[in-house]
Structure 1
Amino acid sequence: MIKFESFCEEIRNNIKAFLPVTYENAEVSVMDYQKLNTTYKGLMVKKEDETITPTINMDQLYKAYQNQPGVTMESIYRRIADIVVESPIQVNLKSIMDYDIAKDHLFIRVSSAETNKDMLANVPHQLKEDLAITYHVAVSMDEEGLSSILIKNGLLKQYGITAEQLHEDAMKNSPRIMAPEVSSLGAMMKELIEKDLFMMSPEEREMLQESIRESAQMPSFFVVTNHQKINGAGALFYPEMLDNLGKVFGQNYFILPSSIHEMLVLPDNGEISADELRAMVTEVNATQVAPAERLTNNVYHYDVCNHDFKVC
């Protein structure tokens, strides 16, 4: 089996043979690409007239080549060629570099401060205990998903604004870009079945239905996310969200960091302890949540009267 380094080099040297002649003079590069919670080798094929191009995750392709029967090098080449040709990201750089335009496309994400500490050294952010709020510019959004750019210190300097101004504008704009959504855990699981988002097999569908039945016996968890249900954990920190949840519950409540995609909230009515909830989060993270989607093993508590969010 070809080693990963050779795999990347072979693709870098040969991918143009699978691309149209218009890519004859394109620049092909492979480099470390850092995102929140993960680092991977990324392949980029950039024509002279393109400002931004997709970064293709070589780690994922290599795993498919290793583990999936029938995946050949030729099929890898053709998959990459399809992505390069069919999904170019054409961006007006002014929409990113001109803050008067970019601020209308700002939104926040939440990640683990510890996991991303090296990256955060070069990124404007605010801490909520051991969670980090970072700021992003939405480049494009359609049925295929959201493309965005993480704002780093260099870009903030070019904007000529303070980190406080960036935070204020992003918090104001996030609910429009990534609208918040709150629902019961059971309702969300039923929605997944009805929409068949995961293309479930009959066995998988039965397992999820069983989970719904079991959840009826569990404490009343609510899910805080965004309408897209992707990178939705940050919705918890939208303006007045913490206080509004407290008004709905009429009491203090716990927050469980389910993943980067959602937070679980639970009224603090004395029926379950913080230690029990922490054990639950730790187990779920270890067995159900991919490393790139984990937040922390901590549980948080919100005091409605004091407006105080803290680690339990």
Structure 2
Amino acid sequence: MDYYTFTDKLLERLSNELGNNYHIHLEEISQNNSTAEEGFLVQKEGEPISSTYSLGKYYNDYLAGQTMENIIGNILIEHTKFEQLLSFPTPKELSDYSRIKDRLYLRLINRQWNKKYLKDKMYLPFLDLAAVFCMDMRNLSGTELLAEQTGVAVLTEQFRQWDVSTFTVFVDAIHNMEKNGDFVLQKLDEQVSDAKIGTDSKENLSEPEMWLIRDATEQYLNAAALLFPALLENAAKVFRKSFYIIPASVHELLLLPDGEGLKPRELKQMLEKTNHTLTAKEEWLSNSIYHYDAEMKKLSIAV
């Protein structure tokens, strides 16, 4: 069965399974860094937000030997799970900041590569990046919670309705991430330090090694760690010196102490090559190498 026949049959059968209360239609799904893929939306009657699904993924599953029945069954299971574990605010709730503030968080994307996307979004410039304000759509009052953050970006029009300062929204978003996340510093291959935000680690490094920062809860993209000065300060205490940060992707920040390994321009060349040969474009964060000055306690673009 070719791709187009598969698509027609999949959507027809899925529509029959879901019934008349749901609408399904093809859609080009926008992704990070101005990329897109073919997919479809499933929207319940009267709901403002829809679920998105990748056609390419399911067609690859079909080519790998999965039956149409198994694929549809998996979609229905996933959709049912999302309906139970997600909570979509009403238009009235969306305009009430007190109802939304506990759902706020930030994600980092490249400002230059996402100009079109950012036009109507609320964000703060940060280095060569944009810290985009997002709302968590998970059911926060439920006993079960999706591990990975599921949310939508805050529109500038919605922000104006809140009638609060950008600083207030930023502080609330950071507070939520500190409370719900668990950003830790560890060696690339083996976790040796539990340097949480606000802790003081005196770990000493005896030899050059690559390190990384990640959210142990896996709720937030690891790149968001750049937004926490205390965490970067703790890394400098561990290294007992300044360090470089290699934004390998939105999922991975690599840290290298000053004077160890490659020089900044060599790191940049390595990053650019990796981005264009190994990393999917929608996962790129930057081609820049960042530097944290331990004495000045300042993060900047090195090259």
TM range (shorter): 0.7 to 0.9
Aligned to 1:18: 17
> Is 2:2 aligned against 1:2?
yes
- The one-letter code of the counterpart of 2:271 is V
Aligned to 2:279: 289
Which SS does the other structure have where 1:301 is aligned?
strand
Mapped partners of 2:21, 2:223: distance in 1: 42
How many residues align? The count is 280
Shift in Å, 1:233: 1.0
Q: Is 1:224–1:236's contact at 8 Å kept on the other side of the alignment?
A: no
Which SS does the other structure have where 2:124 is aligned?
strand
Aligned to 2:24: 28
Aligned to 2:195: none
1:219 to 208, 213, 233: 208
Aligned to 1:133: 131
Mapped partners of 1:154, 1:39: distance in 2: 25
Shift in Å, 1:264: 1.2
Change (3 A) 1:81 1:281: same
Q: Is 2:106–2:131's contact at 8 Å kept on the other side of the alignment?
A: yes
Shift in Å, 1:218: 8.5
Q: Is 1:51–1:90's contact at 8 Å kept on the other side of the alignment?
A: no
Alignment of 1:106-185 (within 5 A): 106-140=104-138, 142-185=145-188
Which SS does the other structure have where 1:257 is aligned?
strand
Q: Is 2:250–2:284's contact at 8 Å kept on the other side of the alignment?
A: yes
Q: Is 2:105–2:173's contact at 8 Å kept on the other side of the alignment?
A: yes
Per-residue CA deviation, residues 220-245 of structure 1 (Å, 9 max, x unaligned), is: 22211212345111112124333333
2:102 to 104, 107, 115: 104
TM-score by length of 1: 0.76
Per-residue CA deviation, residues 140-198 of structure 1 (Å, 9 max, x unaligned), is: 27255332122122322232334343223222332113221111112149xxxxxxxxx
1:250 to 231, 240, 244: 240
Aligned to 2:37: 40
Structure 2 gap segments, 5+ residues each? 193-204
Which SS does the other structure have where 2:245 is aligned?
strand
Change (3 A) 1:273 1:219: same
Aligned to 2:199: none
Change (3 A) 1:305 1:46: same
Change (3 A) 1:92 1:123: closer
Q: Is 2:188–2:210's contact at 8 Å kept on the other side of the alignment?
A: yes
Which SS does the other structure have where 1:223 is aligned?
strand
Change (3 A) 1:24 1:270: closer
> Is 2:77 aligned against 1:82?
yes
Per-residue CA deviation, residues 202-232 of structure 1 (Å, 9 max, x unaligned), is: xxxxxxxxxxxxxx99832221121234511
Change (3 A) 1:162 1:31: farther
Q: Is 1:108–1:234's contact at 8 Å kept on the other side of the alignment?
A: yes
CA RMSD of aligned residues (A): 3.0
- Structure ranking higher in helix proportion: 1
Per-residue CA deviation, residues 245-298 of structure 1 (Å, 9 max, x unaligned), is: 334333221110021112111111365311222233234334443322221232
7-16 or 109-118, which deviates more: 7-16
